[in-house]
Amino acid sequence: MKALMYYGAKNVKVEDVKEQEVVHDSVKIKVKYAGICGTDLHEYLHKNFVTADQMILGHEFTGEIVEVGESVLKFKAGDRVAIEPIWGCGECDTCKTGNYNICANMKSYGIHENGGFAEYVVVKESKVFALPDTLSFERAALLEPIAVVLQAIRKSSFKIGDSVALFGAGPIGLLLSECLRAAGASKIFVAEVSDERRELALKMGADVVLNPVKEDVAQIIKDSTNGGVDVSFDVAGIEATFNQSLDVVKPNGEFMIVSIFAEPIQYHPTLQVVGEKRINSSLGYNNIFPQAIDLLSKGSLNVDSVITSIIDLDDIVEDGLEKLINDKKQCKILVKP
């Protein structure tokens, strides 16, 4: 089968590799679509988390089961499914309280075990979720980032009627804006440097879009909300957006970190203390895939705009990874093996 083999930073190749074999508690899936994530870009550029010498990347994928292991009871060949790619050790206190996403030994398909940038992938039955016929494979490929967004909202202090600010309008920021709209946000501000992504944000829940290069975003937001928003979200992961996200929160409000920061940053704690502002954080997701499937399949979320390209697996390097790095008109690129 064809697969994107990862050998290190800037060292990836689409190659013919041997298909994995199904074991007793696993299923083999013919991948229909796999989304390119910011984590994939980080690995492509820097190799931060991949532990193996060679690996098939891709953790946002969906497809059809073609073979099941002997002990698999819930699924059969022909079933349409989505895959939750992460799991914990199952033994630590964190896992036993249901928070396997922050297990010290958390693993993921596409990072620690072969993932979905391939024609076929073998995964554990416990990580498979059935898709309703009303949900297309294309939209189902967005379930993983939607789960990230739902987890962030669920962990935050957000409640219906709150005002919110988002810094960054990549795929996670756009999906977060749309989910906050669906959850009842009274006003959604989105700050983003890309003209194209600000336009996308207006289609996906944002009420006001701002350019942080040309505008005093923090002052505009505070003037428009009588002192600041109830909750802000950093989905860009740089020092400037961290400090702006903290600045725009009203006294006793909350700043939620959703992004992964590639580099350490500096901030002045007094900016937090004088307003008794809370800093919270969210990583990945746990026990939320069924809700994400329900919300997406019943039409509660408008997500089509976030998909800007669909490409073949053979073209994933130039038209996928490199394009996302260099062309900010692109947002979510789906790969079709």
pLDDT (tens digit, 9 = 90+) per residue, 289-314?
999 999 999 999 999 999 999 999 99
> Is the per-residue pLDDT at 233 higher than 90?
yes
Give the chain's radius of gyration (CA, Å). Answer: 20
Token couple for 258: 């959703």
Mean pLDDT of 211-229: 97
Could you tell me if residue 136 is left (phi over 0), alpha (psi between -120 and 50 degrees) or otherwise beta? beta
Q: What is the DSSP string of 170-186?
A: SHHHHHHHHHHHHHT-S
How many domains would you assign to the chain? 2
Query: Which position has the token pair 């701002």?
Result: 210
Residues 230 and 324 in one domain: no
Look at residue 46 in the predicted model and tell me its pLDDT: 86
Residues 186 and 205 in one domain: yes
> Is the per-residue pLDDT at 89 higher than 90?
yes
Average pLDDT of the chain is 96
CATH, residue 191: 3.40.50.720
Look at residue 290 in the predicted model and tell me its pLDDT: 97
**Contact by Cβ (8 Å): 130, 81:** yes
Residues 14 and 87 in one domain: yes
Residues 127 and 16 in one domain: yes
> Is the per-residue pLDDT at 120 higher than 90?
yes
Residues 11 and 134 in one domain: yes
Residues 15 and 63 in one domain: yes
pLDDT (tens digit, 9 = 90+) per residue, 268-295?
999 999 999 999 999 999 999 999 999 9
| Residue 51's pLDDT band (cuts 50, 70, 90) | confident
CA-wise closest residue to 115 among 38, 20, 187, 205: 20
For 66, the domain range is 2-146+285-336
> Is the per-residue pLDDT at 52 higher than 90?
no
pLDDT (tens digit, 9 = 90+) per residue, 135-186?
999 999 999 999 999 999 999 999 999 999 999 999 999 999 999 999 999 9
Residues 277 and 290 in one domain: no
The type of residue at 87 is: W
Percent share of the chain, pLDDT over 70: 100
Residues 6 and 139 in one domain: yes
| Residue 53's pLDDT band (cuts 50, 70, 90) | confident
Mean pLDDT of 99-116: 96
CA distance 71 to 137: 26
Is position 324 within any domain? yes
Residues 105 and 200 in one domain: no
Beta partners for residue 60, in sequence order:
35
Look at residue 49 in the predicted model and tell me its pLDDT: 84
> Is the per-residue pLDDT at 69 higher than 90?
yes
Residues 17 and 126 in one domain: yes
Query: Which position has the token pair 């190799």?
Result: 47
Beta partners for residue 3, in sequence order:
15, 118
Look at residue 226 in the predicted model and tell me its pLDDT: 93
